[in-house]
Every structure is written in C-alpha cells, then in structure tokens.
Amino acid sequence: MKFKHFIFAILAFTGALVSCKDYLNIPPMNVVQDKDLYSDAAGMTVYLSRMYSQMPFEDFKYSPARQFFDDWLVTPGCNDGASLGRDAGTTMTSEGWARNGAYWGRAFNLLRDANRLLETLPDYKANFTIADYNHFIGEGYFARAMVFYALAKRYGGAPLVTSVLKYPDKPAAELEIPRSTEEETWNQVSADFDLAIANLSATSPKRGYANKYVAYGFKSEAMLFAGSVAKYNKITGLGQKTNVRVIGFDPSTAAAASKKYFKAAYDAAREVMKSGTYSLYKKKWAANDKSAQYQNMVDMFFDASSPENIYIKEYKYPDLAHGYDSYNIPRQLMGGNGYSAGNCPTLDFVELFDGFAKNADGTIKVFDNNGKYLLFDNVTDIFANAEPRLRANVILPGDVFKGESIEIRRGIFTGSAANGIAPLRNDYTVSGPSNYNQVDAYKAAGSFAGQKSLFLSATGTSHEVVTLSNGTLMNGGGKSGPFTSDGTGAMTGFVVRKWLNPSMPQSMVLEAHSEQAFILMRYAEILLNAAEAAAELVLAGESAPAGDNYQQIAFNAIKDIRERAGADPLVSSADLADVAGLKTIRKERTKELGFENKTLWDIRRWRTQHSDLLNGLTQSDGAYYKGLYPFYSTTTGKYFFDAGLDEGRRRFRLLEQEYYFMIPGDQVSKSPVIDQQPGR
C-alpha cells in the first residue's frame, strides 16, 4: 500500500494515537485528541496509516531470520526448500534469531490500536457516512484478525485481548490476560475476520485499505492453517500456570475442528471466486507459446492493473523503498552496494517443475545409462523445454536478464572425454567431497595424478583461467559464479528471478532503492486455498454445498493454474483423488507461491518440515539441500552438469516441538499467567 502521502502525518501524530486522557484529566494542547482523529475520514487516515505501518505483512521487509520491518538481505525462500540465503542461517526455530525480540511484543501494540478504534469510533459515529463508519469498524476487526492470526501460527494459544486495557483505571492484576487455548485463538481469528467481512466495503475506499474480499482471502489462508494444525499436529500440552491447552487441540475435538476450519477456508475462497472481481493474469499469455507464457508470468508481478492482485503493499523511492534488487541481483549485474545473489534457488525446488529429463525418483537426469555425464551443446539446453513458470521464478544458467546472458559456471574440465566424462565426485552423500576443490581432477590426484584437469574460481575477481582452442580465455566461475569461497555468486547454480525488476537501471541497483510492490494476496492463492480445502474435505467424507463438487472445483483450480504456468496438463479430476491428489495440490502450491513468504508456513502447518525426507535425511536429523553445477568441457566443446548437495553444506535442523515458537522469556517470568510452551 502507498504510504508516501501519510508519512508526515504519521510523524506528527504517532505519539498521540494512544490518547493521554486515559491518564490525565487535561490533555496537552500539542497532543492530537479523539475529537480530531475521529472527526472525519481524513482524521481516520492518520489513524489507519499508523495501524497499517504495524501490520504483520510478510513482504519485502520481512524474513524469517530477521522478523518484520527490516528488509536487510531478504531471503524469502530460506528453510522452505525453495532457496538458500547467504545471510539467512540454517536453523530458524524461532523468528528473529538475527535480531533481539520476537513478534510477541510487537503484536500487542497494534492490537491496542485496533481495540481502541473499535471502542472509540462509535462515540463519533455521527461524523461519518454509514458506509465510511462501517468500513472503519471493519478495518479495526481486520487488523485484530491479522494480529491474532500472526500470533496463532507462531505460538498457538494467545492472550485474547479484545478491549483496551487501561491502567491505572484497573489494578495491574486485573489486566493480566492469560493465553487462551489454541482452538479458542483460531476461533477468535475466524470471528474477527467474519466481523471484518461484514463491515468492510466491497471495494477499498482508499488506495491501500482492505476490503471485503481482502478479508475473505486472508480468512481462507488462516483457516487453512488452522485446519491443517487441527488435523496434522501431534504435540499438545497444558500451561503450567493456567492448566490451559496452549498448544495443540484436544484430541476429542481435533477432527471436528479440522473439518470446521477447512470448510471455512473453502467457503471464504469460494466467495472471492464467485464474486467475479478477480482472475488469473493472462494479458500476454498464449497457448503453446512458452515465450509468451514466461513473459506473462514475469509481467504479472509488475502490472499495477493486474486482475489477479487482491492485496498489495506498494513502495515508492525515495520515501519508502526496499532493497530486494540490490540483495538478489546476479553478480555480473551487481550494483554499487556490492551485494548480489543473496537468495539462491535450490535444485530441490527446480526439480518440482516439468519440462526436463528426470530419473525415476524425480531428480534431474545428468548421467547417461553408462553413468557418464550427459553433454549439451549450450548451457541452456538442459532446460530448453522447461515449463515457463520455472524460468519466471528462477534465473537458470545462461538465461537472459536485462539483455545479458547470465554466466553461471562452476568450472572448466580439460580432461579426456574419449569414453565419456565420469562423475567428478566419487561420493555424492554427505560424507563425500563438499567442494570441487577437493576432487581428484582438481587436486591432480587418483586417476588424474600429475594432471590437473579442473579449473575453478575462488571469488568473483580471483579466477583460474583456461585458454580455449580458438585462443579465447575462459575463467572457471563465469561472471556470476558459483565461486569457491565468495558468497556473492550463484551458490546453488541458480539465482532468484521472481520479483527482480527487469527495468531497473544499473545505477539504481542499491539498497533502499527498489520500489516494486509486493503482492500479499493474489487470485492464484485463492484457487489453491479452495483446491486444498476441498481435497481435505473429500478425504474427511464431507459433502459439498449445493451446486458445488469439491473434486471438480479442485480440479478446475489446479488445471487453470497449470495451464497459465505452461505446465503439463492434468487429465481429469481423478488426478486429484485421494491422498495422492492432495500431494499434487500441495506441490502445485509450492511451485506457484515460491518466494512469496508462503511456503515456509505451508510446510509448518502441514507438519512435514521436520519429518519429510530431504536427500536421505530429515530436518530432525539435520538435512541438506542441493545445487546444480554447470561445467564446460574443453575437449568436447560442450557443457555438462553435476547435481549434488550444496557445497556450503548448510545444514537445516528443526525438531517437532519447534513448530511452536518460544514465548519471550521475560514475558513469561514477569507474568503470573503467561505460560511458556509446554516442555520448553
């Protein structure tokens, strides 16, 4: 949302929005009073601008590592399998490991503002039209719903503060609010979204405000989370101070709760679908045209008039900007700040997509039937027929961005290829060589004794160089890496593409200079929410509402998304039957919403992050993601690719109990009623 025109008002009035008349009989004349704020829609603009500046929106200024309102080295794919972040860390068992504090404390500031609006605005109802008054009340409920949702998905049960706590009007002891059960917290989230929906306008009365369908969208997302936790969560416990079930659901009510929440998620998504207000972006899409389909998906994230956008957060340089381009640009296009490739997609993510050769287990095919590397005339050939959505998400080796071929190369191999080129690594498990400077071809050891046959680059400026047969020079790591010991290159063999601005001048690729909007809610997610909720309801034996067919709704949603993406088509609704069908929907969600701060929450709500096998290990054990590394063979004049564990051996760990973040210790120790997570 665009805050530029609000900034000076916020600076002038931020400290006054919690009225001093709660504490003093006569407010100072330099403090904005209720009669000013609630005098008309202009006064409410100031109030709402403060509320929106605190919203727990997970956009360019959010990362799991660094919490909200930061944007430094943004890593939206880290720890969800989509990408490895240079600065993201590998263990994110709670938010804000790189910053002090957690969302727990921040949440209650916005909660107070929302409650104060809901309690005070009725006293000034006569100052507004009915439509404006109702909408502002809806904004209060929407903000409160978003706060409780953000708390519930992190902590489980939360203190349900639904009124302004006034001190010293009441003794401090009466202001202590214990954590409610997790189920009660999710019920409150649902109820507040319903009240928001009932009051908000159908269209946003002002740019950046919520509306009825925005609330429906976030409700569908929240209820999908609640339904998943009720069904899949296996840990539960009572607080020591209150004996309240602060995490997990009562086993006797969990199944019914999951069906209730999945039904609420489905119904909310269907309201958006049936409104006819939004649709998938297909302005440049053309059937059987991969180039058009790719360009369509790129443009979708930069078109302010996109019919797919339900809710976006806008930025504008210089007043309110972010640094996504600076931190994530390929190294060869690096700006003056010296950052690049901070968010590198994993091969695990790339392998989810269609359109390139794979082994029976779904991994990319890089060896022939004799166990020798497949050779390609061009570095781009291996992904020549990949689904366009992949290229819109990920810069692949050799892809063109900003008019340049992005030169991603791990090394140059000068050895013999008479009988094919054998694997560079003799062990592809975690016990094998982690770095190519450890293999025999580089060390001139083993079968390469006395003959160095692999040439690499140590950094973006320190290269081993080979003279090719035509006399030209080629460096080991190309212009954009990956490099042996430099964190500024494509450390997995890929660079993120989604969100990068293709029109941003090189001189502007700097910190706090990017201004593309972040899409917080779009129609594709609504379709995915409806499809997943429908599949869950079918598995639960539930009947669809009159006029709906759960399986057909799910099929149509996934079919439309895959068609727009240029993916292999689904054949019939039978493709989405049973548990296998649910897995197909989840996979589609992961592909479509990659790098949008959605996937990490998905694998947490599915409760699969700790237990699903990842390259032979689970994150409970400590697991690793993979990269794909291109090499040029001088003897053949062709390229080959080596697939294996990330060279940096970034190990990701998560235990089941860590789906629930810890409550800040100081909040627990000073309160007689706030319980820490059971067993922590």
In a domain, 220, yes or no: yes
Q: Which helix (H) or strand (E) holds 344?
A: strand 343-345
Residue 675 token pair: 């319980």
In a domain, 494, yes or no: no
Could you report the per-residue pLDDT of 470-499, keeping only the tens digit for each?
A: 999 999 999 999 998 888 899 999 999 999
In a domain, 601, yes or no: no
What's the CA gap between 154 and 677, in Å, rounded? 11
Residue 536 has pLDDT above 70, yes or no: yes
Write down how long the chain is. 680
Could you report the per-residue pLDDT of 23-57, keeping only the tens digit for each?
A: 334 445 456 688 888 999 999 999 999 999 999 99
Question: What's the pLDDT score for residue 16?
Answer: 32
Question: What's the pLDDT score for residue 73?
Answer: 66
Strands 411-413 and 626-633: parallel
In a domain, 112, yes or no: yes
Residues 6+ apart with CB under 8 A from 634: 412, 413, 414, 466, 468, 469
Could you report the per-residue pLDDT of 252-279, keeping only the tens digit for each?
A: 999 999 999 999 999 999 999 999 999 9
Q: Average of pLDDT values for 58-70?
A: 84
What's the CA gap between 562 and 394, in Å, rounded? 17
Average pLDDT, the chain: 91
Please tell me whether residue 514 adopts helix, strand or coil conformation: strand
Question: What's the pLDDT score for residue 88?
Answer: 67
566: left (phi over 0), alpha (psi -120 to 50) or beta: left
Residue 200 token pair: 């908000």
In a domain, 417, yes or no: no
Query: 159-173, 355-369, 527-541, 552-566: which has the minimum mean pLDDT?
Result: 159-173
What's the CA gap between 340 and 332, in Å, rounded? 9
Per-residue HEC secondary structure of 441-499 comes to HHHCCHHHCCCCCEECECCCCCECEEECCCCCEEECCCCCCCCCCCCCCCCCCCEECCC
Question: What's the pLDDT score for residue 89?
Answer: 63
Greater pLDDT, 172 or 190: 190
In a domain, 313, yes or no: no
Of 7, 42, 17, nearest to 132 (Cα)?
42
Q: Give me the residues paired with residue 633 across strands.
A: 413, 638
Could you report the per-residue pLDDT of 206-215, keeping only the tens digit for each?
A: 999 999 999 9
Q: Domain with 215 in it: what CATH number?
A: 1.25.40.890
Q: pLDDT-based confidence at 9, cuts 50/70/90?
A: very low
In a domain, 233, yes or no: yes
In a domain, 364, yes or no: no
**Total structural domains in the chain?**
1
Domain that holds residue 259: 4-303+659-669
